[in-house]
Amino acid sequence: MTKLLPKKAQQKALPKAPRQVPKHADISHFASQNNELVIGDKTISQIEKLVGSTPYYAYDKALIANTVASLKSVLPEKIQLHYAIKANPYPSLVHFMVNHVSGFDVASKKEMLLALQSGMPAKEISFAGPGKTHDDLQAAIIAGITLHAESTTEINRAIALGVSLAIKPNIAIRVNPAFELKASGMKMSGGSKPFGIDEELLPELLKELPYDKINFKGFHIFAGSQNLKADAIIEMHEKTFMLAQQLVALTPVKIAYINIGGGLGIPYFPGEQRLTLDEISANLSKLLKQYQHTLADINIIMELGRYLVGEAGVYVSKIVDKKVSRATTYLICDGGLHHHLSNSGNFGQVIRKNYPVAIGNKLVSTVDRKELENELVNIVGPLCTPLDIVADKVNLPKSDIGDYVVVYQSGAYGASASPKDFLSQPQLNEILL
Ligand SMILES: Cc1ncc(COP(=O)(O)O)c(C=O)c1O
């Protein structure tokens, strides 16, 4: 009879399973030329000469157009796509989006003016966000866009302003639903939140609204952002449609739309996979059918930022120094945290993980890779703070001063979400190609 080994020894005796190192999702949606990354039809060194210097963000028009078109091709026809400008307010990109989506969501007066100047009709622009000031509300009413009211104070202010301006304000209510978007990078609903009006307060409020003084447009139910789990999104849609039906039943006037929010995420970190939309879309078709009587003549809007533009942008900086400190090799770039806060891990991440990065002028194919020596490096920016990380312990083709470091998945929450003046570094360039 074989003697049982003590537990510790048994564990030692077991052959070790190979450690699965999670990989980044495939980011080969960009072309390359002579091992150099191409955005639009320009190599990154050509783009440097075009914009004047590194660091820069480059956004690829064709990729944005493809993303929007393929999303539209799977979503039910009734769903209208709105672009949330906060994801990337680069003016040329916003102007480009006009021809690809049905409307814009803005989060400030400045974004509203940009949206209006892009040619998007005012009636397709909505303004969400807590803390809208008297000036914000006044400008929105004069412009004729729709306010997504986040509180009763905001509604009362808008009504009073409407009376004094002799313009009926367009108002929809941003709802804080009781449910949340599970497994979400950013939860924006459920429980106590500064966003929207709690759903349980709405039966009373909807009874009391002075409908003769406003154009009541509908409801905005935005539960969360950056979600890569189809099941969680499907569950959110089920709950959103059920809530929408209840709210429509409580509203004494005909409404124009229900904004069902967004939440579709993109893969940033090792181990994350792209969302597959088939089940989400099939479920939306089912819900549209199930609620067709309630929702007849009511537009259904999906509001997305990063899903539409995030994968189409890269952040490019140049290696200005390379050094070894106690056996760790550092690549020091001319760009970092001050332009790409989220890549540095300081934009809401609990544990920092690397975005996909590459040496942008050494994009050797996997076949050729073995011919090129790799090295393990830490990539940092020029700021005098340990927070300025571009990529930590990455294995990349051996590079040197003058080579380019590219951060992928950088088309959303990049330039505009970063402290560009921190340490008074040189300004950043952006280009849409
Ligand atoms: C109201 C609202 N709409 C849209 C978005 C865009 O989210 P995402 O870029 O993840 O699609 C956000 C993000 O915070 C939001 O708060």
Share of the chain above pLDDT 90, in %: 86
Are 347 and 211 found together in one domain?
no
Give the mean model confidence (pLDDT) for residues 147-160.
97
What residues make up the domain containing 414? 26-58+311-432
DSSP string, 162-193: HHHHT-PPEEEEEEE-SS--TTEEEE--SSS-
Q: Are the C-beta atoms of residues 313 and 411 closer than 8 Å to each other?
A: yes
| Residue in 71, 101, 222 to alter for ligand 1 test, most ligand atoms within 8 A of Cβ | 222
Position 13 pLDDT exceeds 80: no
- Residue 356 Cα, ligand 1 centroid: separation in angstroms? 22
Helices (H), 302-425: 306-309, 341-344, 366-369
**Ligand 1 binding pocket includes 223 (Cβ within 6 Å):** no
How does pLDDT run across 117-130, given as a tens digit for each residue?
999 999 999 999 99
Give 210's contacts (C-beta < 8 A, 6+ positions apart). Answer: 159
How does pLDDT run across 166-185, given as a tens digit for each residue?
999 999 999 999 987 887 76
**Ligand 1 binding pocket includes 306 (Cβ within 6 Å):** yes
How does pLDDT run across 23-34, given as a tens digit for each residue?
888 877 899 999
**Ligand 1 binding pocket includes 307 (Cβ within 6 Å):** yes
pTM of the predicted protein model: 0.93
Are 96 and 47 found together in one domain?
no
Total domains, the chain: 2
The token pair that represents 414 in the structure block? 């990049």
| Domain membership flag for residue 64 | no
d(CA 57, CA 406): 10
How does pLDDT run across 196-225, given as a tens digit for each residue?
999 999 999 999 999 999 999 999 999 999
Are 97 and 113 found together in one domain?
yes
**pLDDT value at position 183?**
75
Are 258 and 364 found together in one domain?
no
**pLDDT value at position 2?**
42
Q: Which of 273, 304, 335 is the last residue of a domain?
A: 304
Q: Which of 304, 322, 344 is the last residue of a domain?
A: 304
Are 267 and 324 found together in one domain?
no
The token pair that represents 350 in the structure block? 């609990």
**Ligand 1 binding pocket includes 175 (Cβ within 6 Å):** no
Q: Furthest-apart CA pair in the chain: how many Å? A: 95
Position 285 pLDDT exceeds 90: yes
Q: Which of 304, 326, 359 is the last residue of a domain?
A: 304
**Ligand 1 binding pocket includes 174 (Cβ within 6 Å):** no
How does pLDDT run across 37-79, given as a tens digit for each residue?
999 999 999 999 999 999 999 999 999 999 999 999 999 999 9
Give the mean model confidence (pLDDT) for residues 414-421.
97
Are 276 and 356 found together in one domain?
no
* CATH number of the domain residue 255 falls in: 3.20.20.10
Which pLDDT band, with edges at 50, 70 and 90, does 311 fall under?
Answer: very high
Ligand 1 atom closest to the CA of 188, numbered from 1: 16
Ligand 1 atom closest to the CA of 174, numbered from 1: 1
d(CA 151, CA 158): 11
